[in-house]
């Protein structure tokens, strides 16, 4: 997979943007998911020549020199007996030293932030927020559900960014949270401000202070809160955070960073659950191409054991050696153990092979397609390799057809055929997380055993 994997996978799953409180913030268009999301498409740059006057008759046309087309590596393995493949980065690779230097404190949690959650959480969200912003209230509601569902896996860091031009009470609300923090109750006030936003957002300045003082008393805060609320130290803290956000070019709330990287896309519960699952699954991505370990002169069968029964597949090492080698290697390693059939349409295919269960992840490597003339998706039980609409993007995801699917001919590798257990395939729970994130849980693969003869 290419270096642009992170940004492209974001576009792949982003869908529509949620609302934001902002000033002149650009909105990228939504992307359409590809038919199979084992990996994102590679970046394409389209060059358009400037318009010119029509040349006179007989004038020779200019010669355009195109860059040479890379010669594909058609070997099965390299000089080290490693399968020919491409290793790709995780969705959120660690920031490089150069990236960290360029970003400074933006996106990285520091000792001045208010942090809720475990330090070793798989998913850290840094939010620049405004207590009066309706979109920030929506973010609050979604994060509350995310934290309840995954208390050990998510962490939130909060920074003040009151947009006073459109939210006149936001600065005072931020000061209230900071004043509560001096007595160890920042998050208690945070919850009060967001959960009761409609109660105070429209109040006049004097009435707002009265409301905040009453809520502080209800939280058990000492009367010193009233002084701290308008103290110069608190006023300066909120102002400094706001000035820093403006200085780095932020112009909307909530502005969200995930594991140090800007996330300008959906942050609803379903999307964040998908992101979390991908991040956790990709902690075990392959970091090198596997050894080429099959013998094309031998026969291979794979038995998929599931709660509903067993599916036995004959594999095609001569026709699709790369795909079979990848599948055999991953199966023997236990990669598929516990992985679900995440995308199942009984009039199309049953697809598995993504440890995150989302359809947007894989093993960490991808390889070229192996399309063989005469080998087609002409019946049920044909086993193929999932890919995107870009070449050389086959990976760990595979699918089993429920019937003839000629629209897949010529584009996808066929590397096997179900020889028994098609009744089990037909019982797999139908679901598609890309169109319905709340689909029922997918049926799990217990294990896959490989028999070599």
Q: Rounded to two decimals, what is the model's pTM?
A: 0.81
Top CATH class, 300-452: mainly beta
CATH 3.40.30.10 residue spans of the chain: 93-259
In tens, the pLDDT along 133-145 reads 999 999 999 999 9
Burial status of residue 398 (CB atoms within 10 A of its CB: 0-12, 13-18, 19 or more)? buried
In tens, the pLDDT along 73-109 reads 789 989 999 999 999 989 888 888 888 777 777 878 9
CA 111/CA 106 separation, integer angstroms: 13
CA 276/CA 124 separation, integer angstroms: 10
CATH 2.40.100.10 residue spans of the chain: 300-452
Confidence of residue 344 (pLDDT cuts 50, 70, 90): very high
Cβ atoms of 40 and 10 within 8 Å: the answer is no
Question: What does the mean pLDDT of the chain come to?
Answer: 86
pLDDT number for residue 26: 30
- Give SS3 for 437: coil
Task: Return the number of other C-beta atoms located less than 10 Å from residue 202's C-beta.
Answer: 12
Superfamily of domain 93-259: Glutaredoxin (3.40.30.10)
Confidence of residue 305 (pLDDT cuts 50, 70, 90): very high
238: closest CA among 195, 176, 155? 176
Burial status of residue 182 (CB atoms within 10 A of its CB: 0-12, 13-18, 19 or more)? middle
Q: Any bridge partners for residue 398, and if so which?
A: 352, 385
CA 389/CA 264 separation, integer angstroms: 25
In angstroms, the Cα distances linking 86 to 181, 213, 392, 428, 432 are 49, 60, 9, 32, 27
């Amino acid at each position: 997979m290419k270096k642009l994997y992170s940004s492209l996978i974001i576009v792949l799953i982003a869908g529509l943007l949620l609302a934001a409180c902002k000033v002149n913030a650009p909105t990228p268009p939504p992307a359409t998911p590809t038919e199979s999301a084992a990996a994102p498409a590679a970046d394409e740059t389209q060059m358009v020549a400037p318009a010119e006057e029509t040349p006179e008759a007989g004038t020779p046309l200019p010669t355009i020199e195109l860059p040479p087309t890379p010669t594909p590596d058609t070997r099965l393995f390299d000089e080290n007996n490693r399968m020919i493949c491409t290793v790709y980065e995780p969705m959120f690779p660690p920031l490089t030293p150069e990236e960290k230097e360029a970003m400074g404190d933006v996106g990285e949690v520091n000792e001045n932030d208010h942090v809720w959650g475990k330090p070793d959480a798989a998913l850290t969200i840094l939010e620049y927020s405004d207590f009066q912003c309706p979109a920030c209230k929506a973010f609050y509601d979604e994060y509350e559900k995310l934290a309840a569902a995954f208390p050990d896996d998510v962490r939130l860091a909060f920074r003040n960014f009151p947009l006073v031009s459109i939210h006149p009470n936001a600065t005072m609300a931020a000061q209230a949270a900071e004043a509560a923090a001096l007595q160890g109750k920042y998050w208690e006030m945070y919850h009060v401000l967001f959960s009761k936003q409609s109660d105070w957002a429209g109040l006049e300045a004097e009435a707002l202070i009265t409301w905040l003082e009453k809520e502080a008393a209800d939280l058990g805060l000492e009367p010193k809160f009233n002084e701290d609320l308008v103290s110069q130290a608190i006023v300066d803290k909120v102002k400094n955070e706001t000035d820093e956000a403006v200085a780095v070019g932020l112009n909307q709330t909530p502005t969200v960073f995930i594991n140090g990287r800007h996330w300008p896309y959906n942050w609803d519960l379903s999307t964040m659950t998908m992101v979390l699952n991908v991040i956790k699954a990709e902690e075990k991505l392959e970091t090198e191409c596997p050894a080429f370990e099959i013998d094309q002169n031998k026969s291979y069968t794979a038995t998929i054991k599931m709660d509903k029964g067993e599916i036995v597949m004959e594999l095609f090492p001569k026709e699709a050696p790369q795909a079979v080698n990848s599948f055999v290697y991953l199966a023997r390693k236990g990669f598929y153990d516990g992985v679900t059939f995440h995308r199942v349409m009984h009039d199309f295919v049953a697809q598995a092979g993504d440890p995150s269960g989302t359809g947007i992840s894989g093993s960490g490597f991808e390889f070229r397609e192996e399309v063989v003339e005469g080998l087609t998706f002409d019946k049920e039980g044909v086993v193929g390799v999932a890919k995107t609409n870009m070449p050389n993007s086959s990976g760990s995801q595979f699918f089993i057809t429920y019937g003839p699917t000629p629209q897949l001919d010529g584009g996808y590798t066929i590397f096997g055929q179900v020889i028994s257990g098609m009744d089990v395939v037909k019982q797999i729970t139908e679901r598609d997380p890309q169109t319905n994130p709340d689909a029922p849980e997918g049926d799990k693969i217990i294990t896959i055993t490989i028999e070599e003869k």
